[in-house]
Amino acid sequence: MITVLVIEDSLSEMAKFRDMLSKNNYQVLEATNGKQGCQMAIAHLPDVILMDVVMPEMNGFQATRKITRDEVTAHIPIIMISTKNQETDRVWGKRQGAKEYLTKPVNESDLVQTICKVME
Domains and CATH numbers, the chain: 3-118 (3.40.50.2300)
Residue 51 has a pLDDT of 98
pTM of the model: 0.97
The predicted-structure confidence for 31-75, as pLDDT tens digits, reads as follows 999 999 999 999 999 999 999 999 988 999 999 999 999 999 999
Residue 35 DSSP symbol? H
pLDDT at 66: 98
Q: What is each CA distance from 119 to 15, 48, 68, in whole angstroms?
A: 23, 7, 15
Question: pLDDT by residue (tens digit) across 4-19?
Answer: 999 999 999 999 999 9
**pLDDT confidence of residue 40:** 98
DSSP-assigned beta bridge partners for residue 100: 79
State residue 11 phi and psi, 5-degree precision.
-65, -35
What confidence score (pLDDT) does residue 56 get? Answer: 87
Check residue 57 and give its pLDDT.
87
